[in-house]
Chains A and B, each alone.
Chain A
């Protein structure tokens, strides 16, 4: 591959895309500067449009964008309805309703409205970043990267995901059948008439699938001695408890330092050990395991760079990251953060393309 600018088409390791997206999400979660938020959304959209595959969830990115628009709208409406109205530039006045502890409607000011809109935009950008990860990394491939002990849980999730569209299909089929018997197919009474055949259908399918999976070797495992099983349970349980306490310590500033990061790290380590011990009894291999190579490092790092740049800016000049609303002013454009976000756009040009399906999907 030496000398090639763009590597051969292949699926990137899904974890790389998730690290990238989480980095970007962390970055945008730290700011209410609409310029930076817009840039973050733009970067996510650019990378998705350049590197998404042909799977159904890759086509769902548009839905996340609409979800973002919806979130901003809801946030603004909520502000008008129940929000804390502040500011000096009055836009309009609605009749106010005083309830104990809360005031509905009332005067709306430009400052308050802008603050609500950028708050909504911030949440929307986080959602868009997660949507980008979903569009770029097949969630099922992510499950394949799970440790062996979680393999069976992973399979269950995959099947649940597969069953959902089948369920929708059988609901549609049964409803059409109801119409054949002269039922309108709508109304509360028809729910039971549709639910029963659909449930029966689903049960039949589950049994068929379970039997097929059994015949194909699912659930073959080496018998573990009871002591090993108990050890797995103890390690995982203690580890999880440690991780919970650690998270609490980290978030609560008044807790002693020892219950923070060290507790969290120790707990997670115990969990990992438990998974490893439990996973020893699962004897299976993975077909074409996703590789973690140069492009993966690059993609993951670019997301992390965006987050780090944001933290650095926050340390240096936190005011540049917020939209000044009281009094209203123009947002700043901190070059450090812009640079970080632009680095996060690099995967759009440097990451390998996803493989194209050789056959068009039939209608």
Chain B
């Protein structure tokens, strides 16, 4: 039998685009394989997936040279609708692809289009309801489901047609960690138990690297490299933290999962335990772990009073904040204080009140009770909700989950000029900020044509033009690839050295591990944990970043920290606390 997917020297060029989106790509995916597609945003990942489902070029336009066959059918002569029974396509946002409004009808939709006879249709829908574990949701309206449930319904809806190939475009990027785990567990079961062939793209490689049989790496110039995961990840810039750790530690073969890495890390753990933990007199993060349990209650526990240009001042003080939406208590009496120069990560499952809290702190969202006071630059205290929107911007900046909502003009230059005007800043302020965040964006470009990371940078620049002392970010890493996240982390480091207080709601454990000084975990509107990031993240099984999971009980969070410890002679660790902080927090925030 021929392979399920064959791309033979495929080049795809869109009209009005100077370079091809895919350049002589040759790919073979065999029956029963899980192929993982990796690459930077805008590198042509979606184009490659679209090529396999026939969407490119039938739906999108563009010129395709070479040959694409799926299950032996040439996509040149078969439109996406002709492949409906063979290729199942699941998009990033499940809600955007739903045609009907209840679970059962959605599962039957493809079968109706394929004119499957009613008894068979009934049987297949029942089978898939059980297979996906959504039988009790059969009559539920799709809108009322959680993100993870919606995505499982979306996968089920293409499975009913009995496809040979499943194409998943970042299926977990819109989900919270629990929903993402659900979906990935389902995909794993489909691959292992049903032997389904799957092609999947994913940003958060740490979740999926261990599942892949083959990796398709799309480079920026549109070329595609295919290979066995260990060999591709060995020198790929985009790699999950365990792989990077494996590279730093020089492990062979390279680990792809936490389990493999933990087994390989026995020696490394022993080595690090002696260098890191056995220095109790220093101000290194491990000390927090040793004596830090009582500090959890103290709002500024994450800050160490080492030499700093900015003494930690309270930038925002919230007491007893309550938010009620209709009959739902989203936030129930939360006390929170943000200090200048501090990054606080708000974590917790979807619906735990993170967004509601951010909007209430900002003063634009509803607040049923409690008090929020922001320290203005002249030292007085103001409640941002009492201020007019224009004045409020000078106190607190907020970047919402869908940042592009703030953009409405047709060029980047116009947005920058309008922003200077709105915030009464000197001309060029916003542009200067933007160049610092994401250099080299041409002013004539349309904001909607920017990548997600560039859009976020533009919105950040607009919100920072008024230099608010407090900045709130709602899910800033959504849609950002690895380099995008690194740029954002650098930017946040700059902001904190300038004395801004930053609070961000995030699901991204690895990102929180890189940027946060303090982590606040919410559940059903209450604060469950509030403590130094290192302590909270290493102790929790749910929020532990991969490096922490591999190295526990050594309290290190990122590969950069491990690398720093490995290159630092142990003697220096105990001798010079400041130097260790520098090493441990490579972006310099540790040297406060």
Which of A's residues lie within 8 Å of B, judged by CB?
55, 140, 155, 158-159, 162, 165, 173-174, 176-185, 192-193, 196-197, 200, 205, 208-220, 283-289, 355, 357-359, 361-363
Please measure, in the bound complex, the distance between the C-alpha atom of A197 and the C-alpha atom of B455, giving whole angstroms.
Answer: 13
Contact in complex: B393, A217 (CB < 8 Å) = no
Contacting pair B100 A220 (CB below 8 A): no
In the assembled complex, how far is the CB of residue A182 from the closest CB belonging to chain B, in whole angstroms?
A: 4
- Asked if residues A216 and B84 are in contact (CB atoms below 8 Å), the reply is yes
Q: Are A217 and B81 in contact (CB under 8 A)?
A: yes
Contact for B114 among A217, A289, A362, CB less than 8 A: A217
A182-B390, A205-B96, A363-B328 given as contacts; is B140 within 8 A of A357 (CB)? yes
Given A208-B91, A284-B115, are A214 and B422 neighbors across the interface (CB < 8 Å)?
Answer: no
Which of B103-111, B293-301, B514-522, B531-539 is the contact stretch?
A: B103-111
Of the candidates A196, A283, A358, A362, the one whose C-beta lies within 8 Å of that of B144 is A362
Q: Which of B100, B122, B158, B407 is A197 in contact with, Cβ under 8 Å?
A: B407
Cross-chain contact B100 with A158 (CB below 8 angstroms): yes
Provide a sorted-by-A list of 5 A–B residue pairs whose CB atoms are within 8 angstroms. Answer: A158-B99, A180-B399, A192-B408, A208-B93, A286-B112
Instruction: Report the bound CA distance from A287 to B161 in whole Å.
Output: 13
Whether, in the assembled complex, B141 has its beta carbon less than 8 Å from a beta carbon of chain A, the answer is yes
Q: Are B405 and A177 in contact (CB under 8 A)?
A: yes
Instruction: Please report the C-alpha to C-alpha distance between residue A182 and residue B390 in the assembled complex, in whole angstroms.
Output: 4
Residues in B with CB closer than 8 Å to A178 are 406
Closest residue of A by beta carbon distance from B85: A217
Which 10 A-B residue pairs are closest in the complex by CB-CB distance? A217-B84, A217-B113, A212-B97, A287-B108, A177-B405, A182-B390, A215-B89, A208-B96, A363-B328, A283-B115
Q: Which residues of chain B from 402 to 455 have a CB within 8 Å of any chain A CB? A: 402, 404-408, 419, 422-423, 448
A363 touches B389 (CB 8 A): no
Considering the chains assembled together, what is the distance between the CA atoms of A289 and B121 in angstroms? 12
Contact: A159 with B118, CB < 8 Å? no
- Judged by a CB distance under 8 angstroms, whether B55 is at the interface is yes
Asked whether, in the complex, the Cβ of B113 is within 8 Å of the Cβ of A358, the reply is no
* Interface residues in chain B, defined as those with a beta carbon under 8 Å from any beta carbon in chain A: 53-55, 58-59, 79-85, 87, 89, 91, 93, 96-101, 104-105, 108-118, 121-122, 125, 136-141, 143-144, 146, 157-158, 161, 325-328, 359, 362, 364-365, 388-390, 392-393, 397-400, 402, 404-408, 419, 422-423, 448, 462-463
Cβ–Cβ contact A218 & B113, under 8 A: yes
Is the beta-carbon distance between B389 and A185 smaller than 8 angstroms? yes
A361 to B398, CA, bound (A): 31
Contact of B85 with A288 in the complex, beta carbons under 8 Å: no
Q: Are A215 and B389 CB-contacts (below 8 A) given A196-B408, A288-B118?
A: no
Chain B residues with CB below 8 A from A215, complex form: 53-55, 80-81, 83-84, 87, 89
A173 and B55 alpha carbons, distance in the complex (Å): 30
Given the interface pairs A217-B110, A355-B139, the reply to whether A285 lies near B423 with Cβ below 8 Å is no
Nearest B residue to A180 via CB reads: B398
On whether A182 and B141 interact (CB within 8 A), knowing A214-B79, A284-B112, A287-B121, the answer reads: no
Chain B residues contacting A174 (CB-CB under 8 Å) are: 405
Contact A288 B136 (CB under 8 A): no
Contacts of A216 in B (CB 8 A): 81, 84, 89, 99, 109-110, 113, 157-158, 161
Q: What separation, in Å, do the CA atoms of A216 and B116 have in the docked complex? A: 13
Give bound CA distance, A210 to B55, whole Å: 11
User: Are A361's CB and B118's CB within 8 A?
Assistant: no
Per the bound structure, the CA–CA distance linking A358 and B399 in Å amounts to: 38
How many angstroms from the CA of A219 to the CA of B99 in the assembled complex? 13
A contact residues around B116 at 8 Å (CB): 285
Chain A residue at minimum C-beta to C-beta distance from B118: A285
Partner of B139, one of A180, A284, A357, A363: A357
Measured between beta carbons, the chain A residues less than 8 angstroms from B98 are: 162
Residues of A near B125 (CB, < 8 A) are 287
| Cβ B112 vs Cβ A209 within 8 A | no
The reply to whether A285 and B389 form a contact with Cβ atoms under 8 Å apart is no
C-alpha spacing A55/B362, complex, angstroms: 36
Complex Cα gap A155–B327 (Å): 34
Given A180-B463, A218-B113, is A197 in contact with B405 using a C-beta cutoff of 8 Å?
A: yes
Closest to B362 in A: A180
Say how far A156's CB is from chain B's closest CB, in angstroms: 11
B52 to chain A, nearest CB (A): 11
Q: For residue A220, which residues in chain B have a CB less than 8 angstroms away from its CB?
A: 81-82, 84, 113-114
Residues in A neighbouring B100, C-beta threshold 8 A: 140, 158
Complex Cα gap A263–B423 (Å): 70
Chain A: which residue is nearest B402 at the CB level? A173
Closest-CB distance, A191 to chain B (whole angstroms) = 11
Residues of B within 8 A of A213 (CB): 99
- Contacts A184-B388, A217-B81, A287-B108 aside, 9 further interface pairs with beta carbons under 8 A come to A182-B422, A212-B99, A214-B79, A217-B110, A217-B161, A220-B114, A289-B118, A362-B144, A363-B327
CB pair A287 B111 closer than 8 Å: yes
Given A176-B364, A218-B113, A289-B118, A361:B405 Cβ within 8 A? no
Assembled-state Cα–Cα distance A219/B141 (Å): 25
When A158-B99, A173-B405, A220-B84 are in contact, do A180 and B364 touch as well, CB less than 8 Å?
A: yes
Closest to B327 in A: A363
Q: Which A residues are CB-close (under 8 A) to B327?
A: 363
Given contacts A183-B389, A287-B105, A288-B118, contact A359 B113 (CB under 8 A): no
Residues of B close to A185: CB separation below 8 A: 389
List chain B residues, Cβ under 8 A from A205. Answer: 96
Assess the A197–B393 pair: CB atoms within 8 A.
Answer: no
Give, as a whole number of angstroms, the nearest-CB distance from B390 to chain A: 4
Is the beta-carbon distance between A285 and B117 smaller than 8 angstroms?
yes
B391 to chain A, nearest CB (A): 8
Q: How far is the CA of A141 from the CA of B522 in the complex (A)?
A: 41
A214–B114 alpha-carbon span in the complex (Å):
12
- Please give me the residue from chain A that is nearest to B125 by CB atom: A287
Choose among B112, B139, B328 the residue that contacts A285 (Cβ–Cβ < 8 A). Answer: B112
User: Could you tell me the distance between the alpha carbons of A168 and B146 in the complex, rounded to whole angstroms?
Assistant: 20
Assuming A176-B400, A180-B393, A181-B393, is B81 touching A219 (CB within 8 A)?
Answer: yes
Inter-chain contact B364/A179, CB cutoff 8 Å: yes
Q: Given the interface contacts A179-B364, A285-B111, A359-B136, does A214 sit within 8 Å of B80 by beta carbon?
A: yes
Contact, CB under 8 Å: A359 / B404? no
- Complex Cα–Cα for A286 and B58 (A): 28
Q: Which residues of B contact A287 (CB under 8 A)?
A: 104-105, 108, 111-112, 118, 121-122, 125
| Chain B CB within 10 Å, residue with most, of A205, A287, A288 | A287
Chain A residues, Cβ within 8 Å of B115: 283-285
Name which residue of chain B comes closest to A208, CB basis: B96
Q: How far is the CA of A174 from the CA of B407 in the complex (A)?
A: 9
Q: Which of A182, A208, A209, A217 contacts B423 (CB 8 A)?
A: A182
Question: Which residues of A have CB within 8 Å of B404?
Answer: 197
